[in-house]
Amino acid sequence: MSSEAARRVGIAPSILTADLGRLADAVAAAEAGGADVMHIDVMDGQFVPQISFGPLIVEAVREAVSLPIEVHMMVADPLEQLEPLAEAGAGRLIFHLEATNEPQREIARARELSCEVGIAISPLTPVSALEPWLPQLDEVTVMLVYPGRGGQELIPELLDKVRELRAALDALGSDAVIEVDGGVKAHNARECAEAGASLLVAGSAVYNPNETPQAALAALRTALEEPFG
Ligand code: DX5
Ligand code: ZN
């Protein structure tokens, strides 16, 4: 088995397609099913057209589970949002590189708030744009779809960015988490891990009308652990 395949790959359910009328049950089911991190997609209606969640939902999730919480901030002004999200219980704050002119300010503020820091890049942003910041990051999210909604198909060509990022982080000796977000399913989870991802966001793969979150998580885990051949 290659070293990439041997790396423990985590699963981060995104609640975007969960039954929000039963949010506490939905996140408890993910925790019971072995999720590693809860991924909360904050959308402000400006950086992306949709409006989704804010700090109150982060707080509700924090009260329902003991898993770590990461917040994917699809917001036009991340600097303003860091503090309320940290206070609501986010352990990791992930802002978009495209939303800031001076990432150093967001990085420093998130650190002051004692949070882990990640940067997300949208499909059109190259890995090279991240390079100045890589040594300071705990995590990078590579979007495999255009951000803004759940249930889209993964764009396979974007996995090349994951390979490039893995090489860049290895060259730095960084153990930052590489997360992939968008269109991850049991049938492509292994490919994401092989490309170098260490955390897979799974939205509609976990929260869908056809199976329980526990069954869906078990299928993802099996897909990741199956030996080759
Ligand atoms: C999309 C969000 C994702 C989304 C993933 O902009 O960032 O986290 O919830 O959903 P799926 O896994 O269904 O593509
Ligand atoms: Zn997300």
Report percent pLDDT > 90 for the chain. Answer: 94
Q: What tens digit of pLDDT does each residue of 21-52 get?
A: 999 999 999 999 999 999 999 999 999 999 99
Closest ligand 1 atom to the C-alpha of 16?
9
Q: What's the pLDDT score for residue 6?
A: 57
Degrees, nearest 5: CA angle 65-69-74: 135
Extract the tokens encoding 98: 């495209």
For residue 5, pLDDT over 60 is answered with no
**Residue 229 CA to ligand 2 centre (angstroms):** 32
Q: What's the pLDDT score for residue 1?
A: 41
What residues act catalytically?
41, 181
* Ligand 1 touching residue 52 (CB < 6 A): no
Distance CA 183, CA 50 (A): 18
**Residue 41 CA to ligand 1 centre (angstroms):** 8
* Ligand 1 touching residue 12 (CB < 6 A): no
For residue 2, pLDDT over 70 is answered with no
The residues that bridge with 93 in the sheet, in sequence order, are 71, 117
Q: What tens digit of pLDDT does each residue of 176-227 get?
A: 999 999 999 999 999 999 999 999 999 999 999 999 999 999 999 999 997 6
Work out the average pLDDT over 84-103: 98
Closest ligand 1 atom to the C-alpha of 15?
9
Do 12 and 199 touch, CB atoms closer than 8 A?
yes
